[in-house]
């Protein structure tokens, strides 16, 4: 399930990308929080995390705020979700970034549960990693 943190992060980055497209410069946290109805303190944490990973850029002082750190056609929804929520896989034995064998598993190659969740994971990752912020703004 997508956390509030990841949902707010996606809302914020899509909003910043739209503002940047209009060439209006950096957006202050207060404006972003008000426009997207995101609690300001929570938003600050989210934006700092996205900045740390190069998704966003920040500028201090008058005329400062947040803007995109990369081109919107280079940032995928999957990247943002992983930064804010961690691995996408709902069970560890199908994760590429946080793989761990299930304690109760006798044989991964014949595990029916793993086979099903691997299909779910592969489909989810294909969509999330195949959708950029630019794509999301078109839809």
Sign of the CA dihedral with 85 first, then 91, 96, and 98 last: positive
Over the stretch 16-52, which tens digit does the pLDDT of each residue have?
Answer: 999 888 877 899 999 999 999 999 999 999 999 999 9
| 88: nearest Cα among 130, 58, 51 | 130
What is the architecture, at CATH level 2, of domain 4-68? Orthogonal Bundle (1.10)
pLDDT at 110: 86
Cα–Cα distance measured from residue 29 to residue 125, given in angstroms and rounded to the nearest whole number: 30
- Per-domain boundaries in the chain: 4-68, 77-138
Cα–Cα distance measured from residue 120 to residue 118, given in angstroms and rounded to the nearest whole number: 5
Sign of the CA dihedral with 44 first, then 50, 51, and 53 last: positive
- The pTM assigned to this predicted structure is 0.88
pLDDT at 21: 80
- Pick the range with the lowest mean pLDDT from 24-28, 36-40, 77-81, 130-134: 24-28
E strand residue ranges, 2-121:
56-59, 65-68
Bridge-based pairing of strands 56-59 and 65-68 is antiparallel
Predicted confidence (pLDDT) at residue 105 exceeds the cutoff of 70: yes
């Amino acid at each position: 399930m997508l956390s509030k943190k990841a949902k707010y992060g996606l809302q914020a980055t899509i909003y910043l990308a739209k503002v940047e497209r209009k060439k209006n410069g950096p957006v202050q946290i207060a404006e972003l929080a008000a426009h997207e109805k995101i609690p300001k303190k929570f938003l600050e944490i989210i934006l700092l995390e996205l900045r740390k990973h190069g998704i966003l850029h920040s500028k201090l002082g008058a005329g400062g705020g947040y803007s995109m750190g990369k081109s919107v056609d280079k940032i995928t929804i999957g990247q943002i979700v992983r930064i804010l929520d961690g691995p996408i896989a709902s069970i560890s034995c199908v994760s590429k970034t946080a793989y761990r064998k299930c304690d109760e598993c006798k044989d991964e190659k014949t595990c029916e549960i793993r086979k099903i969740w691997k299909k779910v994971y592969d489909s989810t990752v294909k969509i999330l990693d195949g959708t950029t912020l630019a794509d999301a703004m078109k839809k």
